[in-house]
Structure 1
Amino acid sequence: MSWIEKLTGPLEQKRQYRQYKARLAALPAPWHEVGKALDRYLTYAGMITDGDVLMRMLEDLMDLLEESAADGAAVRAVVGDDPVVFVDDFLANYEEGRWIAKERARFRDAIAEAAGEQGPPS
């Protein structure tokens, strides 16, 4: 890893992110609007801290949106009546990269240590 990548993050992930944004911009209506809304919600609620997991999630999201647009699917047929439930279920597939996963592991380890339990760290 070069010094610039240590400072700014992997350049490959930046390239992948630009490709994701271009794919998002190319979606037809109404999928473009759905994609923008999902992107915003995932940015705030997702709290993905692992760049590899983030890019995998965004690529999977784009695949879903592009396929839905190509199939002529209705928005509600994909996201359901409550889009928050849809996106939370979607996020559940990427738990290992979320900030909260690290905090849960830290919390479990602290309680185990306080209880005097030995075991492999989580």
Structure 2
Amino acid sequence: MSEGEKTGFIAKVIGPKKRWRAYKGRVKELPENYRTAVEVIQRYLMHFVPTDGDSNAAMFEDLADLFEQAAVDGTPIREVVGEEPVEFVDAFAQNYSEGGYVPARARKQLIDDIERAAGNGTGREDTPA
């Protein structure tokens, strides 16, 4: 492994961890009710909205930004998330997962699998002889 490859590998491994720790530190500094809201949203996102590492980091950093600003402005949590928190979180997540519950990699896998099953698109190879 070259020095450049080592550096890239280490950045992939350590970078997200540093970002995650920084995010968690920011959340810890929020007033209790805002912190609780962020933690609940975070748990939902982690269970139901799979994304890649970079998207996760950006999504959680933006979530912290949103609630930090709301706390500074004194914006009530209900004004941030609305009356339907699931709708809020799903809309928020769509910015990072390209479609909510069906992440981009799952759509790509489906397309690739169908293409393979169909014989790379001719439509003839998949018909029984």
Q: Structures share a fold, TM > 0.5?
A: yes
User: What SS does the aligned partner of 1:84 have?
Assistant: helix
Task: List, as ranges, runs of 4+ consecutive aligned residues in structure 1 with deviation greater than 4 Å.
Answer: none
CA RMSD of aligned residues (A): 2.6
The code of the aligned residue for 2:42 comes to D
Q: TM (normalized to structure 1)?
A: 0.80
Aligned equivalents of 1:115, 1:81: Cα separation in 2 = 48
Residue 55 of structure 1 aligns to which amino acid in structure 2?
A: A
Identity of aligned residues (%): 36
Task: Please tell me whether the aligned partners of residues 41 and 89 of structure 2 are also in contact (alpha carbons under 8 angstroms).
Answer: yes
Highest Rg: 1 or 2? 2
Gaps of 5+ in 2: 123-129
C-alpha deviation, 1:39, in angstroms = 1.3
Note the residue ranges of structure 1 that are not aligned, 5 or more in a row.
none
One-letter amino acid matched to 1:103: A
Instruction: Name the residue aligned to 1:94.
Output: 96
Candidates 10, 21, 24, aligned match of 2:24: 21
Higher normalized contact order (CA 8 Å, seq sep 6+, divided by chain length):
1
Query: TM-score, normalised on structure 2?
Result: 0.76
- Counterpart CA distance in 1 for 2:43 and 2:18 is 20
Q: Residue 63 of structure 1 corresponds to which residue in structure 2?
A: 65
* 1:33-86 alpha-carbon deviations (Å, 9 max, x no partner): 1011111111111212x2111111111111001001111011111101110110
Q: Which amino acid aligns with 2:56?
A: L
